[in-house]
Structure formats: structure tokens, C-alpha cells
Structure 1
């Protein structure tokens, strides 16, 4: 599935041969359309489409403005017929409406599908199912300030007070005596939905003085020119602004890096999605989704500035608060840049985790490493007592070990670490989701 092999290309070519005939009678028709998130659609989706069409056809791929702001058409010739893909990037919520109406074949979203949206599409497809929900990249919601700003880190609660207007001068958070200017994404944006959920929550409301943007890049550029500015954007849009570290309650402040974002330990990490109507979008749409999950597609994700889901081994930079027992446990291991996550409150793997199983297997194959080199460490969010937390953490590690074994990889080394070493505020919805995890460690080369 992830090899990008010649057989993969032949399957695409066989499936698309008949499709090209359908578009011969209407050469201006779009082969398929992607609507939704500006975070996904501004750069990442066009790059993935370009790579996919180039691999499929072996011909150059052209890109042009579709006649509207934030809309692009990418096209290539296949067996003498045009293949055209429209990318319309007007915000995550617009993408759902387009998918529901049949205008879009793929919905690009920088937030997970909402319960109401799942219900609204239930008669057509289950948007929460593995066949409909496809994580294509991990993003860290970047908190941006002017390069001259001496402030280096802020807590989520402090960010909430800043963006609500309760804190209005940088001197109140250790900066200069300067009025704070607020920059925020617009209401159609999944980036805004994520920020509102993770930072503002139910306690705060965005100040009416905030400037609102459809474009991540434009927001970042304007912050970088304003010494009093602070804003938020996707990680790929840091550009000339300064990036702050963010802490969640008593957890350590982290900057978004390959490890902290890929593992989703960073407090403002988020998944970027493509949603389809199950497998009913047609052969070419299904093959494009498969391409985004492949090693070739994930290499494009990395080049785009987002975080690829392809695992890499990283030496852990332990925070001073990490217990000595954990140092001893992991002293002979490197950490893989993947965490296994679970459906809320369960030991059942979520959709991304099912694909991560194959990615860990592929990592072992490419590195020539046996499954016995893996160590799985489970964690739980805070429970009513330590024994319960320990049991949950061990069950989660066992669940991943069992899933790998069923997939053909006998990873038997696992343990639980209870409710210790939280990466988020215990009890909070997002913090609990991030604390309930299984980390993957790989033995150092001897």
C-alpha cells in the first residue's frame, strides 16, 4: 500500500483508462474536485495532485488559477485526453457543504468531522469510517509573533486571555510595553475551529478587534510586519514570523517540531483530513487517496512544510520532569515519530492508528530490523486511582501489540506507564486524548 511500486501505477492506469473516455465528450469538465480547507488547499493539495497526475500519466502537469481567489486547476494529458482536478480552498466548512451537495468529490478539512455532519451524511456514507476519513498530514497550529518580540513561550490559558482581549499589552506577559494586535483566521476556516476548540474553549470569546483572514500566509506576513502582533496559522505558514512554544497546564512548553507534532504531543497539534463518500467516489478518487497515504505522497507532505506520517527514529530530548525510572526504561532506545491513538475513552485504535500499523511495519522492513527491537509504552489520562490508570495504560499497549501481531509483526515487548508524564491537561477533552497514547520506541543499533 505504501511502496509506490510499478504495480501500484499499473492499477491506477488500468482504472483510469475507462474514466478518460467519459471526459472526452466534455473536455472542460473536472475529473474530480477537492473543496475545503485553505490550510490543505493552498499548497499541500495542489502538490499532491501534481505528484499523483505526474506519476499516473508520465506527462507534465500544468497549474492555473481557476478564475476565483484560492481556486486552482491542475491538469495533465492521459492517453490523449485531459485529466483536470479543481482545488477550491475557501475553508473546511465550505468543503463539507460541497461534499454533501455532490459538488465536491473530496472534502479537505483541517479539523475532524463533527457529529452533526456525520449524521447529515449518514444515508450516503459513514464519514467516521476508515473508508471515508483519511489523515494526510499532521500540522502544528503555529502561534506567531513579530521576530523582535522577546516572549518565547505562552500557556494555552494565557493565549485564551490574550485573544479574548483580557490581556492587551505585552508587558503583562513579560514583553515590552506595547499594545497587542490580534490576527485570526476567518469563521469558515478549520484552523479557526481548531483554535477556538483548543485555546478559547467555552471560557473565552475572540475579541472583536481581531483582524480576520482567509489565507494563512497573508496572516503570517502581516504579523511579521507588526511588532505588537500575535496570530495563529498552520505550521507551513510560519514564513518570517517568530514561532512560540506552547504549554498546556503543568505539561512542559513545546515548540512544534517533527517529533512533537508527528506524535501529537505538541499542545496545538492537529490532523489534516481528506473525507470521501466511502469508496463510492470512483476509481481515480480512490487511487488518489491511496497515493496520499503512500511513501511517495507522504514525502510530498514533508516537502510542503507539514509533518509526514512516515516514522523516523529520534533521540528523545527528555524534559527535567521525566522520572528516573522512565530514563532507565528507554535508555537503550530511540523514539519513533508516531503515537498510537484510540477512539475516545476506549482501547480501540482510531482510523489513523490502523494506517500507522502498516507504517511501522514498513519502517522495520526498510531498516532491516526485527519486531523484537520495538518497545511499546502505554499511557493513560488521569483516573480515579493509580491502579486503574496503570491497567488502562497496559491494555492500550497490549492492544497495539495484538494489532501488530495480527498484521504479521510479533511485537511482544510492551508495558504501561499509567497516568504519569502527561502531555496535556488531565481531564480536558484534548489533553485527555493526547495523554491516552502508546509511544513506539526502537532499540538503538548495537
Structure 2
């Protein structure tokens, strides 16, 4: 605590007068409520008092102010105008930390390389899991759609509800604005499946709350939104490729099996010397920070065990596993084109080990189950699925975890379409089961 106070004092002396001590720019999904809530709780944890939100005149902007033990004010500015604006502000020297509801793009990575590798484990921090909910008016009888149908609807190739077996009448489209990470995610996960862009008649919104409220009052409406903003609307079950229909449930989003699940990020340049930025990231990854994530309607990265109902789509011995063990709310995934665990998986290893220690399950109480994507060779998929599970085992063994069993199911039980890169990445996964 004393070290942080000294660092912050030196930072304040070196900074221009009245400048914000920390400037966060980017995602509206994060910045509307979650970001300010995390900042407020972090400042209180660091011993500041009279922490309050100062109204800002531009919409979707916040200033959180507190007073430290020396009587000096600390101010954190949060501007939430879309993920893309955060990386632009970082490049222009107008932000210290980027809040993003999508991964950094290759182009942005190159443009910002002078600030260090923003894909490194310390720079790229997954702070929560979100799901894009497809929402309708509560009276709409449609209960599920597949991702191909969604692409056709939002591009205008399907323009009436009766074409989907629903009520007669035109489909009214509602979408987030072009700067939104929610829009970028929807475009990547859904619209990329068709060569057609979003239909020009779609109404666009910067505000998630406003979009959701409009859809919930329009019997012909359909839109997409982050989980905390479903409000009074109805959610659809989504099918991707050969996956089972999935509602945006916490358990399916935590494991990232739900087809429209996504990660929420903080990006902090490795060259940053801002102590408040590092304090915020540390706090956000803590149990207290993840509790605030859950309180704000997102899915926290806490490891939990839950029972899974056996289904006809499961291999017979996998069905048996569901009756004997519980599945942890973590899927280990890998870097694209690599057998290396991705940045979230590295964080999740620590969380899983902590869970196993706390519950006395270090010795032969864990089974790892690997999966892969089909490609052209089922035997290769089978082998790689088991090799991925073995890669996770190597990491767990370093923490004295003795596994009960390792299984590989190849390309069985896909959770996403294998026709897209994003889908193949999601299918290359390792589940953790505990007895």
C-alpha cells in the first residue's frame, strides 16, 4: 500500500496539473457500468475516501474522484464510445488503458507496437465473459435460430417473420453503432458468414439500454445485445453448425460454449508506468473484482462445478462421465495455430489449481477431456484432442495435481461451426471434470 502511494505521488508530480490520474477509453459494454464500478471499488480498496462519480457532459463518459490520505484528489476518467475508439486514443496518447469487448485487431497491434506487445500475457487481460444475446419482443413465438439464419436476417436476405415460421410482417432490425465492440463481435461471429453487409434500414444505437428497450416494445423487432442489457426482452436459443441449441446461460457462457460468447478485455501497454492502471488490473482479477463483474450482469471467471445432463448427442462413455462427475466452468483454449495455451487459459490454470486445493481434489480427482475440429482427418482430430489435454496436464502437474484420466473425443460434440476460423478455435478445447 505504501509503495503504491509513493508511486502515485511521483506519478502525480510528473503529470500535468489537473490531468486525470488514469484515462480509460473504449467499450461501451464495459464503460457504461462495469468499468466505473471496478474503478470505484479499487479506489476504496486503496484507501481513498469520499469516492464519487462526477457527472460528465458528454454521454457515456464518467469521472470517478476520490481523496487519498494526503488530501490529494485522484481522478479516473472513463470514456465509453466503442472498443475501436480506445485503441485510437491509446495511439494518440489520450488513454492509459483500453477497455475492449473484442480482441485487438492485427492492424491495431502493428500500429501500437511502439508501446510493446499488446498480445503478451501481462498486456492482454481477460476481465469477464459476456454473451451476445439475440433479443426479440416477449410475444414473438420464435424460440431458436441458427447463425446462418441470423446472418440472412441482419443482411436483409430474410426480411419477414413468416419466412421463419413466425408471425406475418416485416422484420425490424436494431444494431449497435460502428464503434461498438458488440457490433464488431456480431459482425465477426454472425455477419461474416455472408457476403452481404448489415441491411441499411437497421436502426443503430450507441446505448445498449436504449436498443434493448426499443426491441422489447416492438413486436416485429430483433436485435443483439450484451448480457446485462437484456432487460425486458426475450432471448433466443442459438445453434452454430452442428451444435446443440444454446440459450445465453451463465454456465454455457463461462465455458465459452455458447456460440455468441465473447471475452471482455483490458489492454495495458507493457511500457506503461501508470500505477493506477496496474492497480485496477490487479483488483479486477481478484475475487473482489470478479464479484463486481458478476454483480454487473457479466459472467465472472470464478471456477465452479456443476452437473451436466446426459444427452443423446454425447458418446456413451461421456454420458457415463456426466453421471459420475461434475464439470468445471472453465474450458482451456489455445493460441491460433498453436498448442500453447492462450492468455485466458494461463489465468485459468491458477484459478483451477486454487479450486482443486480448496476442495481437496489434487489427487486423482480430475479428468481432462479434449476436443478438436474436424478438418479432413478424423483420426488426426482424435489424436490432437488428446494431445491438447496432455498439454493442460503438463501445466497442472507443476502444481502437484495428479490426474485420474485423460480422454480425447476428436471432433465429436462441436460447440461451433467448423467452417469458420472462430468456430474451429472454439472447438479446440479441453474440459475439466472433477469427482
- TM-score of the superposed pair, with normalisation by structure 1: 0.93
Query: Which of 62, 65, 68 is the matching residue for 1:78?
Result: 68
Structure 1 residue 26 displacement after superposition: 6.2
Q: Tell me, what secondary structure is at the counterpart of 1:74?
A: strand
Deviations, residues 395-414 of structure 1 (Å, cap 9, x unaligned) = 10000010112244344632
Identify if the C-alpha distance between structure 1 residues 288 and 371 changes in structure 2 by more than 3 Å, giving closer, same or farther.
farther
Deviations, residues 34-77 of structure 1 (Å, cap 9, x unaligned) = 10000010011111111111111152420122221100011111
Q: Tell me, what secondary structure is at the counterpart of 1:35?
A: strand
1:147 aligns to 2:123 (yes or no):
no
Deviations, residues 246-275 of structure 1 (Å, cap 9, x unaligned) = 100221110111111011100000000110
Rounded Cα–Cα distance in structure 2 between residues aligned with 1:370 and 1:32: 41
Rounded Cα–Cα distance in structure 2 between residues aligned with 1:126 and 1:81: 34
1:14 aligns to 2:6 (yes or no):
no
Query: Which of 344, 354, 357 is the matching residue for 1:365?
Result: 357
Corresponding position of 2:241: 249
- Moved >6 Å (runs of 4+): 24-27
Rounded Cα–Cα distance in structure 1 between residues aligned with 2:325 and 2:83: 39
Structure 1, unmatched stretches of 5+, are 1-9
Corresponding position of 2:58: 68
Identify if the C-alpha distance between structure 1 residues 320 and 72 changes in structure 2 by more than 3 Å, giving closer, same or farther.
same
1:292 aligns to 2:281 (yes or no):
no
Aligned pairs for 1:101-250 (under 5 A) are 101-201=92-192, 203=194, 204-250=196-242
Contact 1:142 1:233 in 2 (8 A): yes
Query: Which of 16, 23, 27 is the matching residue for 2:12?
Result: 23
Query: Which of 39, 45, 50 is the matching residue for 1:49?
Result: 39
Q: Tell me, what secondary structure is at the counterpart of 2:190?
A: helix
Query: Which of 67, 72, 88 is the matching residue for 2:79?
Result: 88
1:424 aligns to 2:416 (yes or no):
yes
- TM-score of the superposed pair, with normalisation by structure 2: 0.96
Structure 1 residue 21 displacement after superposition: 5.6
Contact 1:181 1:210 in 2 (8 A): yes
Aligned pairs for 1:398-437 (under 5 A) are 398-411=390-403, 413-437=405-429
Rounded Cα–Cα distance in structure 1 between residues aligned with 2:271 and 2:358: 30
Identify if the C-alpha distance between structure 1 residues 342 and 33 changes in structure 2 by more than 3 Å, giving closer, same or farther.
same
Moved more, 112-121 or 317-326: 317-326
Identify if the C-alpha distance between structure 1 residues 71 and 181 changes in structure 2 by more than 3 Å, giving closer, same or farther.
same
Deviations, residues 85-126 of structure 1 (Å, cap 9, x unaligned) = 111000000000111122111001111011111111112210
Deviations, residues 374-407 of structure 1 (Å, cap 9, x unaligned) = 1110111113222211110111000001011224
Q: Tell me, what secondary structure is at the counterpart of 1:161?
A: helix
Structure 2, unmatched stretches of 5+, are none
Structure 1 residue 429 displacement after superposition: 1.1
Contact 2:11 2:274 in 1 (8 A): no
Contact 2:25 2:81 in 1 (8 A): yes
Identify if the C-alpha distance between structure 1 residues 410 and 254 changes in structure 2 by more than 3 Å, giving closer, same or farther.
same
Q: Tell me, what secondary structure is at the counterpart of 2:314?
A: coil
Moved more, 403-412 or 114-123: 403-412
Rounded Cα–Cα distance in structure 2 between residues aligned with 1:72 and 1:55: 19
Rounded Cα–Cα distance in structure 1 between residues aligned with 2:237 and 2:419: 22
Rounded Cα–Cα distance in structure 2 between residues aligned with 1:237 and 1:89: 15
Structure 1 residue 325 displacement after superposition: 2.2
Rounded Cα–Cα distance in structure 1 between residues aligned with 2:58 and 2:407: 54
Aligned pairs for 1:245-324 (under 5 A) are 245-278=237-270, 280-324=272-316
Contact 2:151 2:193 in 1 (8 A): no
Rounded Cα–Cα distance in structure 1 between residues aligned with 2:322 and 2:277: 42
1:37 aligns to 2:27 (yes or no):
yes
